Amino acid sequence: MKNLSIAEAERVKFHAAVKRIPEDRKFFNNTAQSILAVAEEMLDGELEYHKGNHEIAFKHLRESVYRDDNLGYTEPWAWMHPPRHALAALLAEQGQHEEAEEVYRTDLGVNGKLQRCAQHPDNVWALHGLVECLRARGDTEELPFFEAKLVYALTKTDVPVTSSCLCRAAVCCNS
């Protein structure tokens, strides 16, 4: 259930906590500030989305993607939750399937727009979203290929996958 006032209060606390982290604090070759900057934009984007400010939300989520893409390479990844999953899921929820599809293709690495080390090939969450977008536009050429990949990926999961991000209103908040 949505509780925007609590979420807003927690966002304020998060932003304040991030400001207390020394600027030179690092996790391998990224500063803690640059890693948490990805989180800040995701948090702001998801909260704005659930407040009904969709375009503002997408602006924040696109910035989160940009910041994540510009983190220095490290293993494990500095930021583990791909912001593209949230961006594309919420775009799709608003019927913006064309852009969502492109975001998923980039995340999966099937369109060549993202360096290999930042791709999430065969990721079940992104595959779910891409299949959803392909179905929405009535694709018949690629859909069977990606459905098969999704079916296989689902055999490896231990939780139901109903969206590329649980931030979707229909998934998280019963709205």
CA quadruple 85, 101, 120, 23: dihedral, nearest 10: -50
Q: Nearest Cα to 26, choosing from 18, 34, 17?
A: 34
Cβ-based neighbours of 49, under 8 Å, separated by 6 or more:
57, 58, 61, 90, 167, 169
Q: What is the pLDDT of residues 87-137, one digit of tens each?
A: 999 999 999 999 999 999 999 999 999 989 889 999 999 999 999 999 999
Q: Nearest Cα to 86, choosing from 1, 168, 169, 172?
A: 168
Task: For the chain, report the end-to-end CA distance as a whole number of angstroms.
Answer: 8
The number of beta carbons lying within 10 Å of the beta carbon of residue 123 is: 20
Q: Nearest Cα to 126, choosing from 160, 89, 71, 78?
A: 89
Domains of the chain: 1-81 (no CATH), 84-174 (1.25.40)
What mean pLDDT value characterizes the chain?
Answer: 93
CB 128 within 8 A of CB 164: yes
What is residue 43's DSSP assignment?
H
Q: Where are the alpha helices (DSSP H) in the chain?
A: 4-19, 32-50, 54-69, 83-93, 97-108, 124-136, 143-154, 169-172
Q: Give me the pLDDT at residue 55, please.
A: 97
Q: What is the pLDDT of residues 12-31, one digit of tens each?
A: 999 999 999 999 999 999 99
pLDDT tops 50 at residue 57: yes
What percentage of the chain exceeds 90 in pLDDT? Answer: 81
Two tokens, residue 14:
């998060």
In angstroms, the CA 47 to CA 75 distance is 29
